[in-house]
Amino acid sequence: MLDHPKESAFETFSGNRGLDQEEPPIFEIGRPETSGVDIDEPAHLEPRLGALERKGPIGLPGLCEPEAMRHYVRLSRKNYSIDAGLYPLGSCTMKHNPRLNEKVARFAGFADLHPLQPQSTAQGALALMEELSRWLLTLTGMSAIALSPKAGAHGELCGLMAIEAALEARSEAATRKVVLIPQSAHGTNPASAALLGFQPRVIEAGADGVVSEEAVAKALGPDVAAIMLTNPNTCGLFERNIVAIARRVHEAGGYFYCDGANFNAIAGVARPGDMGVDAMHLNLHKTFSTPHGGGGPGSGPVVFSERLAPFAPVPFLLREGETLRLVEHGDGAQSFGRLTAFHGQFGTFVRALAYILSHGADGLAQTSRDAVLSANYLRVALRDVMTQPFGDRLCMHEVLFDDSFLEGTGVATLDFAKAMIDEGYHPMTIYFPLVVHGAMLIEPTESESKRSLDLFVTTMHDLIASAKRGETRRFTEAPRYAPRRRLDETAAARKPVLRWSAG
């Protein structure tokens, strides 16, 4: 169905631009009576639905198979993806997603397996969970694991719940209500703490971008339940005072939660367990390469120290000789309870384990080193044209710049990012971490070749020189070569249209 172009801005009658084809919503191309699935009408059906049968129409459009293929293929081509190019989103770890992971997750014995079928018929799946647990515990140097959290932020809840359960067991849950959180933390950290009734207390980082032992000591008191520290932190720096910080927190009776979103910098190189961590979530969709699918699913297993292990949620695995048993109920133990139906993101466990086995312990360490190497390579290649908020020093797997190099050019950070789109790159993370004004956080990951990194550097140099020459339209009018120009986000928020309607 062709709509006549309404605006003279369209160069073509159809609105298409060659291979860049417009695609209306399914509601404008489908019809309720069309179906792309052949299902026979059952013979002689006398419903036993009480009086609850639906009477009126739903309005759902249907597409036959060729229409559906074309609709979704056309939509897919309006997306950037890691398979298409460099995706240097800091703190998001957009690394290569091996297709072997997808293949094995689709084995019938994994994909076509019900979470509640008898455990005797799912021993292979339980063995897979045990093997993944062994790897994650060894890599982190921790004592126990909860596989069930569905995402990183769900893992934060899990870790904090175990901490509160431990405090309850010590009869200190009512008095210890404060969680120390550095200003640079992911926004989910304070949100998770607040959701569970904790009061976040902000800790400032020093001029060197990391939290000092003194700053923590000053904030500690008998009201502190825990500290939530991201390490490496969101400024791309290793919290080098971590051991002393952990000791201080422990001495004050608190627990140490580590946000493990950036574990990919140190996996196989150093262990959180040696740093005094009590609980930490792992983002399987970051460190262990499971694809993020445009925003999910994630998977956020949590590892625990010996002190918190007894409070871990159900379900958990028990080995009884040759047999594995999934403990699905508290059974009167100290487990704090259940976080989600069933056993977690099993399909993601399969993918993560395939990745882990492909690398082995040696390969995982190399992966971390390459991620750190690539980030520092970019840092050195860009440090003369961009500005670093904490001075010129080694970074971990991501490198943080700020926008002061754009001062006086008339180009804002957002404009700069949009111009990167025209050059064929997904922009880096901008305006995060909040602690740095005009932050630009670049994470190349280990998946990029040196040639790819060099091309990126050359492009960045060209963009920066262009901004300094005053070629502002290249930025303020960007993107020009994208499926859409700048979108009016203010209008979208002011008068939200969240569903399609006719007319």
Contacts to other proteins from residues 116-175, by CB under 8 A: 116-118, 120-125, 127-128, 135, 138-139, 150-154, 156-157, 160-161, 164
Give the x/- contact pattern for other proteins in 467-496, rule: CB under 8 A: ----------x-x--xxxxxxxx-xxx--x
- Cα–Cα distance measured from residue 243 to residue 393, given in angstroms and rounded to the nearest whole number: 21
Which of 169, 195, 318, 465 touches other proteins (CB under 8 A)? 195
When the beta carbons of 139 and 406 are compared against other proteins, the nearer one is 139
Judged by DSSP in three states, 364 sits in helix
Q: Which of residues 170 and 485 has its CB atom nearest to other proteins in the complex?
A: 485
Kindly determine how many residues on this chain lie close enough to bind other proteins according to the rule CB under 8 A: 208
Angle at 473 between CA 472 and CA 476, to 5 degrees: 85
CA–CA distance, 342 with 248 (Å, rounded to integer): 38
Work out whether 215 is an interface residue with other proteins (CB under 8 A): no
Q: Which stretch binds other proteins (CB under 8 A): 193-201, 218-226, 250-258, 465-473?
A: 193-201
Q: Interaction with other proteins in 230-269: which residues (CB under 8 A)?
A: 237-238, 240, 242-243, 266, 268-269
Structure tokens at 486: 């700048």
| Own/partner pairs, 15-23, CB within 8 angstroms, 24+ separation | 19/77, 20/77, 20/483, 21/74, 21/77, 23/71, 23/74, 23/75, 23/78
Residue 42 lies near other proteins (rule: CB under 8 A): yes
| Separation CA 259–CA 229 (nearest Å) | 6
Q: Cβ(104)–Cβ(442) under 8 Å?
A: no
Residues from 7 through 26 that contact other proteins (CB under 8 A): 7, 9-10, 15, 23, 25-26
Torsion of CA 341, 94, 272, 209, to 10 degrees: -120
User: Which of 346, 347, 329 lies closest to 338 in space, CA to CA?
Assistant: 329
User: Minimum CB separation from other proteins for residue 193, in Å?
Assistant: 7
Q: Which of residues 371-430 bind other proteins (CB under 8 A)?
A: 372-374, 376-377, 379-381, 393-394, 396, 417-418, 421, 426-427, 429
Determine if 311 is a binding residue for other proteins (CB under 8 A).
Answer: no
Judged by CB, which is closer to other proteins: 101, or 408?
101
CA gap 309, 229 in Å, rounded? 20
Beta-sheet pairing, 323-327 with 316-320: antiparallel
Tell me how far, at minimum, the Cβ of 405 lies from other proteins, in Å: 20
Q: Which of residues 85-104 bind other proteins (CB under 8 A)?
A: 87, 89, 92, 94, 96-98, 100, 102-104
Place of tokens 């009576």: 33
Query: Considering only 75-83, 220-228, 251-259, 462-470, which stretch makes contact with other proteins by CB under 8 A?
Result: 75-83
Residues 425-464 that bind other proteins (CB under 8 A): 426-427, 429, 432, 446-450, 452
Nearer to other proteins, 218 or 486 (CB): 486
- 42: preceding bond cis by omega (within 30 degrees): no
Contact status, residue 435 vs residue 184, Cβ threshold 8 Å:
yes
Q: Cα-flanking dihedrals φ and ψ of residue 324, to 5°?
A: -105, 140
Token readout for 474 is: 């290249």
Residue 397's φ and ψ, nearest 5 degrees, are -85, -5
- Scanning 65-73, 216-224, 246-254, 405-413 for contacts with other proteins by CB under 8 A, the matching segment is 65-73
- Nearer CB in complex with other proteins: 19/52: 52
Single out the residue of 250, 307, 325, 338 in contact with other proteins (rule: CB under 8 A): 338
CB 408, min distance to other proteins, A: 25
Nearest to other proteins of 254, 272 (CB atom): 272
Q: Which amino acid is at 55?
A: K
Interface residue with other proteins among 344, 352, 400, 463 (CB under 8 A) is 344
The interface region with other proteins, picked from 1-9, 249-257, 402-410, 467-475 by CB under 8 A, is 1-9
Q: Within a 10 A sphere around the Cβ of 152, how many other Cβ atoms?
A: 24
Q: Is 41 an interacting residue with respect to other proteins (CB under 8 A)? A: yes
Beta-bridge partner residues of 324 = 319
